[in-house]
Chain A
Amino acid sequence: MADLSIEEANKIRLSMGLAPLPVPGAAAPSGPAFKPAQAGDDSDEEAASTIESRQAAGFDNWKKLQDEAAAKKKREDRLVAIKKEREKAARFAKLEGQGLADAAEDEDDMAWLKSSKKRQKKIAKAEQMQKELEERERQAREAMQYTEADLAGVRVGHEVDQFEDGEDQVLVLKDTAVDAEEDDELEAVSLKERERLQEKLDSKKRKRAYDPNDDGQKSILAQYDEEIEGKKRNAFTLDGQGRTVEQVQAEATGAAQPKRVAISLDILQEDTPVNDYMDISEVKMKKPKKKKSKSSKRRRIEDDEDMVAVPDEPTEEMEVDESETKLVPKKAKKNLFDESFVDDDDLQAQLAAQRRQALKKRKMRPEDLARQLREEATSAPQTPGEVVDTTEIAEEDAGALIIDETTEFVHNLGANAGDEAEEARRRQRRKSSQIPKDVDSPAVDVDDEGDIDMAQSYAEVAEAEDRERSASRAKSAEITGTGLDDEKLVSGGIGATLALLKQRGLVANTEGPDKNSLWRSREKFLADKLRAEEEVERERREDRERQRNSARWAAMSARDREENNRQANAKSEKDVARKLADIYNKEYKPTFQLTHTDEHGRQLNEKEAFKLLSHQFHGKGSGNTKTKKHLDKIEQEKRKIAENSLDTRAGGLSNAQDQQAKKNKFAGVRLQ
Chain B
Amino acid sequence: MIIVTVNDRLGTKAQIPCMASDPVKVFKAMVAAKIGRPVHEIMLKRQGERPFHDQLSLADYGVSHGVQIDLELNTGD
**A binding-site residues for B, Cβ under 8 Å:** 1-6, 9, 12-13, 16, 18-19, 21-22, 24, 51-52, 55-56, 58-59, 62
Contact = CB atoms under 8 A, between A and B. Distances in A.
Contacts of A9: 16-18, 30
A52 B19 contact: yes
A18 B26 CA distance: 9
Interface in B26-77: 26, 29-30, 33-34, 59, 65
Interface string B8-30: 00001111111111100010011
Contacts, number: 56
Contacts of B59: 51
A55 to B, nearest CB: 6
A3 B1 contact: no
B49 to A, nearest CB: 24
Contacts of A22: 1, 19
A2 B14 contact: yes
A4 B30 contact: yes
B26 A16 contact: yes
Contacts of B21: 51-52
A12 B27 CA distance: 10
Contacts of A12: 29-30, 33-34
A52 B20 CA distance: 8
A51 B26 contact: no
A21 B17 contact: yes
A55 B14 contact: no
Contacts of A18: 22, 26
Given A4-B34, A12-B30, A55 B1 contact: yes
23 contacts: A1-B13, A1-B34, A2-B13, A2-B15, A3-B3, A3-B14, A4-B17, A4-B30, A5-B17, A9-B16, A9-B18, A9-B30, A12-B29, A13-B30, A16-B26, A19-B19, A21-B18, A24-B1, A51-B21, A55-B1, A55-B2, A56-B1, A59-B2
Contact of A6 (B1, B26, B34, B65): B1
B27 to A, nearest CB: 10
Contact of B29 (A1, A4, A16, A59): A16
A55 B20 CA distance: 8
A58 B29 CA distance: 25
A42 to B, nearest CB: 21
Given A52-B21, A59-B65, A62-B65, A3 B30 contact: no
Nearest to B5: A2
Nearest to A62: B65
A1 B7 CA distance: 12
Given A4-B17, A9-B18, A59-B1, 11 more contacts: A2-B13, A2-B15, A3-B14, A4-B14, A6-B17, A21-B17, A22-B19, A51-B20, A52-B21, A55-B20, A58-B65
A283 B41 CA distance: 142
Interface of B: 1-3, 12-22, 26, 29-30, 33-34, 59, 65
A3 B15 contact: yes
A2 B17 CA distance: 11
Nearest to A2: B15
A16 B65 CA distance: 22
Contacts of A51: 20-21, 59
B32 to A, nearest CB: 9
A333 to B, nearest CB: 149
Contact of A4 (B2, B16, B22): B16
Contacts of A13: 26, 30
Contacts of B13: 1-2
B1 A1 contact: no
A181 B12 CA distance: 90
A340 to B, nearest CB: 144
A129 B16 CA distance: 81
B72 to A, nearest CB: 18
A351 B26 CA distance: 172
Contacts of B2: 55, 59
B8 to A, nearest CB: 11
A59 B64 CA distance: 10
Nearest to A58: B65
Chain B CB within 10 Å, residue with most, of A5, A6, A9, A62: A9
Nearest to A7: B17
A2 B68 CA distance: 13
B16 A21 contact: no
A15 B2 CA distance: 20
Contacts of A1: 12-14, 34
B12 to A, nearest CB: 8
Nearest to B59: A51
Contacts of B3: 3
Nearest to A21: B1
Contacts of B33: 12
A4 B15 contact: yes
Chain B CB within 10 Å, residue with most, of A1, A2, A51: A1
A146 to B, nearest CB: 70
A94 B12 CA distance: 58
A16 B18 CA distance: 13
Nearest to A24: B1
B57 to A, nearest CB: 10
Nearest to A18: B26
B30 to A, nearest CB: 5
A504 to B, nearest CB: 98
Contacts of B30: 4, 9, 12-13
Nearest to B34: A4
Across the A-B interface, the 5 shortest Cβ-Cβ residue pairs: A3-B15, A12-B33, A9-B17, A21-B1, A4-B16
